[in-house]
């Protein structure tokens, strides 16, 4: 039995905005005093995380002078060197500043679209300087409240142009970064586009350099849309596009709660971890969550430790699932052998057409999924 201590091999990361979240919400002021990026790096090292991610302005304030920027970056690098914490991912804040009130790459204002590109190029430089290998695009303000105002075909065209431009920028500078697109159906916009991981996967194929663009699915965001997160992750993986993942938790049909991973939908979390471990997912495991507003910073550490611990506990449960004789015997029975039809040939089609099926008998075949599912529930609840 493991003691569930995180290690670098787990690739657990947190954003500066996650453990550094001050607890502001639409109805209330911050409840925690801001802590500096340097302090956050030390806190992450203390709880055993591997990586730290940031938006440009989590690290460097939007109105910093070049001298201030250089000092902040030097202090941050020193904290990374002292702790061994790495920067796997960086991103751009294209949603807080009022300039982005109608979006960034998809704003109706061409000056804003150009400013968003400029801001992202600078942020990519910053991410590359600190060693990031993945660059996330979360378009929180890319969307509408009224469809009278914006044509989604224009928005898709502008978003595509921006990503094509930035792909060339990255290649031109030899940065070796990969892009990961993160979807969310709504909030803060009435509707955000593209809205789900599935939409993103289809959109990627329309880009000039689809090979360098994947997705960053977030559990809470797919749950907001009422979808099965593990299925979205599996489709991204199948397409070779699971470059990054945002782990957290979320009650269905609510606002973006960004709860501690494993805090709410334990069964979905189990099947997700099982999937990632079964396929040998080896990219960062980022916890894009924040502590309850009731927490102080001591409790924020409990939050961060809890995210990682739940992942590792579920990883151990996934191992037990694989080694459980009763579960495996049931699975073998359920799967019923190899496919009989796969590749088309005229002969295979003719043979299949000639075959006699006992449709009634097929319809009478039950599946012991209740038994199987209860075994899984027992396993998760720790009574197996
Ligand atoms: C913001 C959002 C997240 C995104 C982050 C990256 S910022 O907190 O809610 O889901 O992953 O821009
Ligand atoms: Mn979220
Ligand atoms: Mn996220």
Residue 55 annotated among the catalytic residues of the structure = yes
| Domain layout of the chain by residue ranges | 8-323, 325-381
Inter-residue contact 302 to 3 (CB < 8 Å): no
Local structure of 178: helix, strand or coil? strand
Q: Give 135 Cα–ligand 1 centroid separation in angstroms.
A: 12
Whether the pTM exceeds 0.95: the reply is yes
Catalytic residue among 10, 25, 42, 55: 55
DSSP code string of 45-81? HHHT--EEEEEHHHHS-TT--HHHHHHHHHHHHHHHH
Local structure of 383: helix, strand or coil? coil
Which atom of ligand 1 is nearest the CA belonging to 138? 12
CATH number (3.20.20.150, 1.10.10.10, 3.40.50.300, 3.10.20.600) of 8-323 reads 3.20.20.150
Ligand 1 site-directed mutation target among 96, 123, 140, most atoms within 8 Å of CB: 140
pLDDT on residue 27: 97
Which atom of ligand 1 is nearest the CA belonging to 18? 8
Nearest residue to 194 via CA among 206, 207, 181: 181
Q: Which residues, at least 6 apart from 44, have a Cβ–Cβ distance to it below 8 Å?
A: 14, 19, 52, 83, 85, 304
Q: Which residues, at least 6 apart from 311, have a Cβ–Cβ distance to it below 8 Å?
A: 10, 12, 247, 261, 262, 273, 285
Distance of CA 235 to the CA centre of its chain: 14
Task: Kindly give the confidence (pLDDT) of every residue in the chain, 384 residues in length, as a single tens digit, with 9 standing for 90 and above.
Answer: 578 999 999 999 999 999 999 999 999 999 999 999 999 999 999 999 999 999 999 999 999 999 999 999 999 999 999 999 999 999 999 999 999 999 999 999 999 999 999 999 999 999 999 999 999 999 999 999 999 999 999 999 999 999 999 999 999 999 999 999 999 999 999 999 999 999 999 999 999 999 999 999 999 999 999 999 999 999 999 999 999 999 999 999 899 999 999 999 999 999 999 999 999 999 999 999 999 999 999 999 999 999 999 999 999 999 999 999 999 999 999 997 888 887 999 999 999 999 999 999 999 999 999 999 999 999 999 999
- CA dist 356 and 259 (Å) reads 53
Q: Give 332 Cα–ligand 2 centroid separation in angstroms.
A: 38
Catalytic residue among 56, 58, 246, 258: 58
- CA dist 303 and 310 (Å) reads 11
DSSP letter, residue 324: -
Q: What are phi and psi of 136, to 5 degrees?
A: -95, 145
Which atom of ligand 1 is nearest the CA belonging to 137? 12
Token pair recorded at residue 347 = 């002969």
Pairing of strands 143-144, 191-192: antiparallel
What are the pLDDT digits (tens) for 183-232?
999 999 999 999 999 999 999 999 999 999 999 999 999 999 999 999 99
Residue 378 annotated among the catalytic residues of the structure = no
| Three-state secondary structure of 128-152 | HHCCCCEEEEECCCCEECCCCCCCH
Whether 91 lines ligand 1, by a CB cut-off of 6 Å, is yes
- CA dist 13 and 286 (Å) reads 5
pLDDT on residue 337: 81
């Amino acid at each position: 039995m493991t003691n569930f201590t995180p290690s670098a091999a787990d690739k657990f990361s947190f954003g500066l905005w996650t453990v550094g979240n001050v607890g502001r919400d639409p109805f209330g002021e911050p409840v925690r005093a801001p802590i500096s990026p340097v302090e956050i790096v030390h806190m992450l090292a203390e709880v055993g995380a591997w990586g730290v991610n940031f938006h440009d302005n989590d690290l460097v304030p939007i109105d910093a002078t070049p001298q201030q920027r250089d000092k902040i970056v030097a202090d941050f690098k020193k904290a990374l060197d002292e702790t061994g914490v790495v920067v796997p991912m960086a991103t751009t804040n294209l949603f807080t500043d009022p300039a982005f009130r109608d979006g960034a790459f998809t704003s109706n204002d061409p000056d804003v679209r150009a400013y968003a590109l400029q801001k992202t190029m600078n942020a990519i430089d910053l991410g590359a300087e600190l060693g990031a290998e993945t660059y996330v695009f979360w378009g929180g303000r890319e969307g509408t409240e009224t469809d009278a105002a914006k044509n989604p075909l224009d928005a898709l065209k502008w978003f595509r142009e921006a990503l094509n431009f930035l792909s060339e920028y990255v290649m031109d500078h030899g940065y070796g970064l990969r892009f990961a697109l993160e979807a969310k159906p709504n909030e803060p916009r009435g509707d955000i586009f593209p809205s789900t991981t599935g939409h993103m996967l289809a959109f990627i194929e329309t880009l000039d350099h689809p090979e360098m663009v994947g997705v960053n699915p977030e559990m809470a965001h797919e749950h907001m849309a009422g979808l099965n997160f593990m299925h979205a992750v599996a489709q991204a993986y199948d397409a070779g596009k699971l470059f990054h993942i945002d782990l957290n938790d979320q009650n269905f049909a609510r606002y973006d709660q960004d709860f501690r991973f494993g805090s709410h939908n334990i069964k979905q979390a189990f099947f997700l971890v099982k999937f990632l471990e079964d396929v040998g997912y080896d990219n960062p495991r980022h916890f894009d969550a924040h502590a309850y507003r009731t927490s102080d910073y001591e409790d924020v550490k409990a939050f961060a430790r809890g995210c990682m611990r739940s992942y590792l506990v579920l990883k151990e449960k996934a191992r037990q699932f694989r080694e459980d004789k009763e579960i495996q015997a049931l699975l073998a029975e359920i799967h019923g052998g190899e496919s009989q039809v796969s590749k088309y040939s005229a002969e295979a089609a003719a043979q299949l057409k000639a075959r006699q099926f006992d449709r009634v008998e097929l319809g009478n075949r039950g599946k012991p999924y209740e038994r199987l599912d209860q075994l899984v529930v027992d396993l998760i609840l720790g009574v197996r």
